[in-house]
């Protein structure tokens, strides 16, 4: 009789251990399934489809921190292109400067006012001069905030008889602001200064 009781107790212990193992295994499988599902949903939400020219193009969303260096350099480049790429047309000048001033604070407006008061833009129009800018290097320091930057590039003044090339060096700081249609990168240039802007060569046409 004691042997039967011992056998029943051993069988019960075995069944209990088996059931406990099954429950733990099921719990682990459920956790794994939940994790995989959550990961899949996040990946699906980060995928974006853009319709361009009748074709669906797939894009991926990313955290802003992953793109700060790229966006910062593009913001600085766009500002300088808008501010310095000009044609002898008052509407073109006003349009470009307006776009540029959305990307910077009053320090850029002050530079514009100084150039306007000196007759710089009037001279471009009357002398039929086109002005183009090409970036050579854009350095951004992301170790401190606001982010300090330095822009170096070549500015070309194209006349009917000559092309004057100038080197242009500027610096300033970038501050985070809300993104908008006029400021898609969500940066604002502050304390912008032109450090150097002098002729380096002249080519006859």
Closest CA to 196 of 155, 172, 171, 168: 168
Q: How confident is the model at residue 2 (pLDDT cuts 50, 70, 90)?
A: very low
Distance CA 191, CA 106 (A): 8
Q: Is the pLDDT of residue 60 over 60?
A: no
pLDDT at 97: 96
Answer whether residue 34 shows pLDDT above 80.
yes
Say how many Å lie between the first and final Cα of the chain, rounded: 117
pLDDT in tens, 84-137: 999 999 999 999 999 999 999 999 999 999 999 999 999 999 999 999 999 999
Interacting residues of 149 by C-beta distance below 8 A, sequence separation 6+: 72, 76, 138, 139, 140, 141, 171, 172, 173, 174
HSE, CB side, 13 Å, CA atoms: give it for residue 116.
11
Q: Give the tokens for residue 173.
A: 């700081």
Domain locations along the chain: 2-48, 64-204
CATH number of 64-204: 3.10.450.230
Tell me the pLDDT band of 35, cut-offs 50, 70 and 90: confident
* pTM > 0.75: yes or no: no
Contact 166, 200 (CB under 8 A): yes
Average pLDDT, rounded, for the chain: 86
pLDDT of 36: 79
């Amino acid at each position: 009789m004691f042997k039967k009781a011992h056998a029943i107790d051993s069988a019960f212990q075995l069944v209990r251990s088996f059931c406990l193992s099954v429950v733990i295994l099921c719990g682990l499988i459920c956790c794994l399934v939940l994790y995989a599902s959550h990961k899949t949903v996040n990946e699906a939400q980060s995928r974006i489809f853009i319709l361009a020219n009748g074709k669906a193009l797939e894009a991926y969303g990313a955290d802003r921190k992953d793109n700060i260096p790229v966006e910062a350099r593009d913001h600085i480049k766009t500002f300088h292109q808008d501010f310095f790429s000009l044609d002898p047309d008052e509407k073109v000048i006003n349009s470009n400067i307006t776009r540029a001033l959305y990307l910077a604070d009053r320090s850029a407006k002050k530079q514009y006012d100084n150039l306007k008061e000196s007759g710089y833009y009037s001279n471009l129009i009357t002398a039929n001069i086109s002005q183009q800018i090409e970036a050579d290097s854009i350095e951004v320091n992301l170790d401190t905030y606001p982010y300090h930057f330095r822009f170096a590039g070549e500015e070309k003044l194209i006349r009917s008889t000559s092309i004057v090339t100038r080197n242009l060096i500027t610096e300033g700081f970038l501050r985070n602001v809300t993104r908008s249609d006029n400021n898609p990168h969500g940066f604002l240039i502050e304390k912008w200064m032109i450090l150097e802007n002098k002729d380096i060569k002249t080519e006859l046409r």
